[in-house]
Amino acid sequence: MSDRIIDLSRAVPPIVERLEASLAGSLASRLNTKDAGGLLRTNRPRGTEEDRLAGAGWISQRLGFMPAIDRMIVTNGTLNILFLLLNHLVGRQGTLLTEEMTYPNMQALSGILGFKIEGIRMDRDGLDPAALAQACRANPGIKVLYTIPTLQNPTATVMPLERRMEICTVAREHDVIIIEDEAQALLLEDGPPPLSTIAPERCWYVMGLAKTVVMGMRVAYVMAPSVEDAEAIMTRFGRMSMWFVAALQAELAQVLITTGIAAEATKEIRRIATERRAIVGEILNRPALLERPGGLHVWIPTATDAEEIAAAACSAGILIRPGIQFAASPQATPAMSGLRLSFCEVRQEADLRLAVSRLAYLLR
Ligand SMILES: Cc1ncc(COP(=O)(O)O)c(C=O)c1O
């Protein structure tokens, strides 16, 4: 193993240096102008009206409309609401459908909450509607699909509009509820519309700030399919204050959104990520990586030896994740083989160039 590690394994946003001061200053100035004691003495189940309004404005960038604040929930990050939704909608012994490779914490959630995961086949346009329909027919008890249609984790796929419509049609036919996670979606300037605008009656829309504003914020905005759905979930869990968004975080998120700092951060993250992606595409000499718009990672298809390549890279001091680490369940081997390369954790561009050059050698 090399003595210096270059980490290409974590899909985190780059540090936006020129915004560091405004991030810190925003909260300080808000606490000076508001009754800080009052802010901290109150709990915020689902967020205050101002929190939800700021969140509705933020997600309207993707939805194209301003959701009613009664449908909004503000939570301590995406994982927090996923925990509640999966417990409420899938439950112990239930089965959750996901892409065949997905956000790895899904496996942890399935272990804690006791549900099974069935991975659905994907192609370069994302979930395969025929495979989804087949899974629904084979197990009519299935009611919930978790999906990342825009800049998928790990494949970076952006599901085209037509495919989105097909997925929504299948969900309607089989009465499946959709949890749509748009963690990185704002890194696309003109991404196709969310599923939540195509089948709003059955979609829970979730957008965290971790990937597109600042990593440790732990705030996510959620739009429920209806006011009743938003209320039902909080009636079930709402008395436990650990599910309430933390006041300071919610306040900071509100300030960053209403002052425009959050939007500026997203724009800058998008700019840096685009530059870095170009470096990766050029060094790997894989123009296909750049044919489609991207986020904080690229997917490098390999024959079948992605794990071996990742192990060799590790010995050369480069951390990169093979697709198998994202498999929906330990029993299933995904049909797509490849590596997820994330390029924004590395501070110095020279380190990125060095690591990708070594990787290019291993991929030959
Ligand atoms: C698809 C996806 N959703 C959610 C998260 C985590 O979001 P949060 O930090 O808001 O809990 C991640 C983090 O890697 C992710 O990849």
CATH code, domain carrying 290: 3.90.1150.10
Task: State whether 239 and 325 are in the same domain.
Answer: no
What 3-state DSSP class applies to 169? helix
Print burial letters for 255-264: b (CB count within 10 Å at least 16), e (below 16): bbbbeebbbb
Range 195-203 average pLDDT: 98
Tell me, yes or no, whether 293 lies in a domain. Answer: yes
Range 180-207 average pLDDT: 97
Q: Is the pLDDT of residue 1 over 60?
A: no
Q: E strand or H helix at 178, and its extent? A: strand 177-181
Please tell me the total count of domains within the chain.
Answer: 2
Candidate of 211, 212, 213 to mutate for ligand 1, largest count of ligand atoms within 8 Å of Cβ:
211
- 288-291-295 Cα angle (round to 5): 105
Task: State whether 247 and 283 are in the same domain.
Answer: no
Position 2 scores a pLDDT of 59
Task: Answer whether 153 contacts ligand 1 (Cβ < 6 A).
Answer: yes
Amino acid type, 286: R
Given the DSSP bridges, would you call strands 72-75 and 297-301 parallel, antiparallel or unpaired?
unpaired
Rounded CA gap, 230 and 222, in Å? 9
Candidate of 12, 73, 78, 107 to mutate for ligand 1, largest count of ligand atoms within 8 Å of Cβ:
78
Position 3 scores a pLDDT of 66
- 241 against 71, higher pLDDT: 71
Do the Cβ atoms of 117 and 106 come closer than 8 Å? Answer: yes
Task: State whether 120 and 214 are in the same domain.
Answer: yes
Task: State whether 36 and 72 are in the same domain.
Answer: yes
Give the range of the structural domain holding residue 346, as residue numbers without chain letter: 6-18+262-363
Tell me, yes or no, whether 85 lies in a domain. Answer: yes
Tell me, yes or no, whether 1 lies in a domain. Answer: no
Q: Is the pLDDT of residue 214 over 60?
A: yes
**141 Cβ neighbours under 8 A, 6+ residues apart:** 94, 95
Task: State whether 161 and 293 are in the same domain.
Answer: no
Position 352 scores a pLDDT of 96
Rounded CA gap, 235 and 221, in Å? 18
- 363 against 20, higher pLDDT: 363
Task: State whether 267 and 255 are in the same domain.
Answer: no
Position 34 scores a pLDDT of 63
Please give the model's pTM, rounded to 2 decimal places: 0.96
